[in-house]
C-alpha cells in the first residue's frame, strides 16, 4: 500500500511542475506584451505631440489606461 501512495504522489508532482512552468511563461509573456505596448504608445504620443507643436496646432491628449498608455488624441487649428 505504501508503494501505491508514493507512486501516486510522484505522478501528481510530475504533472504539477509543468503546469507551474506553463503558467509562469504565460504570465511572463503577458507582462512583456504590456510593456511593449506601453513603450510603443509612449513613443507614438511623443511623436504626435511634437508634430502638433511644430505645426502650431493645439491638441487634446487623453490617456485612458496608464498601464498600457492607451490614448486618444485630437489636433485642431488654433485661432
pLDDT averaged over every residue in the chain: 88
Averaged over 41-46, what is the pLDDT? 97
Sign for the pseudo-dihedral over CA of 71, 72, 77, 79: negative
Domain boundary assignment for the chain = 2-77
* pTM: predicted TM-score of the whole model, two decimal places: 0.72
Give tens-digit pLDDT for 13-22.
667 788 899 9
Q: In this predicted structure, what is the pLDDT of residue 15? A: 72
- pLDDT score, position 46: 97
pLDDT band, very low/low/confident/very high, at 23 (cuts 50, 70, 90): very high
Amino acid at each position: 500500500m505504501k508503494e501505491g501512495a508514493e507512486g501516486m504522489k510522484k505522478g501528481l508532482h510530475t504533472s504539477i511542475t509543468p503546469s507551474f512552468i506553463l503558467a509562469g511563461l504565460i504570465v511572463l509573456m503577458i507582462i512583456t506584451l504590456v510593456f511593449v505596448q506601453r513603450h510603443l504608445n509612449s513613443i507614438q504620443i511623443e511623436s504626435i505631440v511634437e508634430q502638433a507643436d511644430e505645426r502650431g496646432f493645439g491638441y487634446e491628449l487623453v490617456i485612458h489606461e496608464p498601464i498600457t498608455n492607451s490614448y486618444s488624441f485630437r489636433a485642431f487649428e488654433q485661432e
